[in-house]
Amino acid sequence: MLRLTLALTLLISGCRQESTRAPAADTASAASAKPAAAKPQAAKPAALATPGAGQVVLDGELLKVRWDDGDTFSWKGAAEKVRARLADYNTLESYGPVHRWGQWTYDELYAVAKEATAVVRKGGWTCQRTGKGGGYGRVGVRCPGAAKALVSAGLAHVFAVGRAGNPELIAAQESAIAAKRGMWAKGAPQGLVTSLHSADEPGRKKGGKLYDRVASTATGDAAPTPHEQTYKPCQEVCRQGSCMRYIPFKRRYGKGRLVCSPAP
């Protein structure tokens, strides 16, 4: 009986020792385990730059630009100067007094063109490339803020090719016309002549179509007007209630710039 009691005591003692060792083994295992890696936090997007006077944020990049007129600017690229033509609107030509309609004189509308240039130069604008060309080696750029500011003030008109213009800008133009702001102070013609091309222009392809472009003041569509005429420098051409003087492209700027004498 004494032997049986002693055996049971040894057996119970052994079980207790095993039960106290197990947690120690678990503790050692937990100590050797590597802590779980922290989840990487998403990077916060960089704050967009705010452009000041003479600056443009183009596709997120802050650029110092030079405005040639109300719808064209340029900047120094990595290798050469880059020129941009703004989409959706058009300002009157700033290379000389070439526009006239209604009771406006050429010089009065020339002053409107200069005012448009002054407005965009004073502001800072956020723009995006359109992915299309802007003619004359320029890139197409869209600056919604500049477009609305100028059209609303009557310093620019809606411009699109082969389609109606931006609905928001058309509404802004209708409001400007009704309020007689800017170029609309003396009334609005049916269309505005925006470019003239003469049959004798150098570089014209043989058999190529010749046209002038006239922008509708109702829709903004600048439809081409085909013709086969040869224009003389400073000749006035009138279409759809507005007139424009023809200045060959190579005589619009620089030393050979042609300035037409005032109309009698």
What's this model's pTM, rounded to 2 decimal places? Answer: 0.80
pLDDT value of position 125 = 98
pLDDT for position 206: 73
Contact 159, 151 (CB under 8 A): no
User: Going from the N-terminus, what domains does the chain have, and what CATH number goes with each?
Assistant: 55-251 (2.40.50.90)
**pLDDT for residue 39:** 55
Integer-rounded Cα radius of gyration of the chain: 36
| Low-confidence stretches of the chain (pLDDT beneath 70) | 1-48, 263-264
From 98, 94, 129, 140, select the one nearest 114 (Cα to Cα).
94
Q: Which residues contact 139 (CB under 8 A, 6 or more apart)?
A: 82, 83, 84, 85, 129, 133
pLDDT of residue 26: 43
pLDDT computed for residue 114 by the predictor: 98
Measured CA to CA, the distance from residue 141 to residue 72 in angstroms comes to 9
Query: What per-residue confidence (pLDDT) applies to 16?
Result: 45
Return d(Cα 225, Cα 15) in angstroms, integer. 105
Please, are residues 109 and 92 in contact by the beta-carbon 8 Å criterion? yes
- What pLDDT, on a 0 to 100 scale, did the predictor assign at position 203? 79
Q: Is 177 left (phi over 0), alpha (psi -120 to 50) or beta?
A: alpha
Give pLDDT, residue 32: 45
The pLDDT value given to residue 230: 97
Task: State the CB neighbour count (10 A cutoff) for residue 205.
Answer: 6
Backbone φ/ψ region at 136: left (φ over 0), alpha (ψ -120 to 50), beta: left
Residue 37 pLDDT: 53
What are the respective helix, strand and coil percentages of the chain, to the nearest 5?
A: 30, 25, 45
Q: Which residues pair with 73 in a beta bridge?
A: 67, 84
- Please name the residue that has the structure tokens 């043989």: 206
Q: What is the pLDDT of residue 133?
A: 92
Using DSSP, state whether 225 is helix, strand or coil: strand
DSSP conformation letters of 128-188: EEEEEEEETTEEEEE-HHHHHHHHHTTSSEE-BSSS---HHHHHHHHHHHHHT-GGGTT--
CA distance 96 to 111: 10
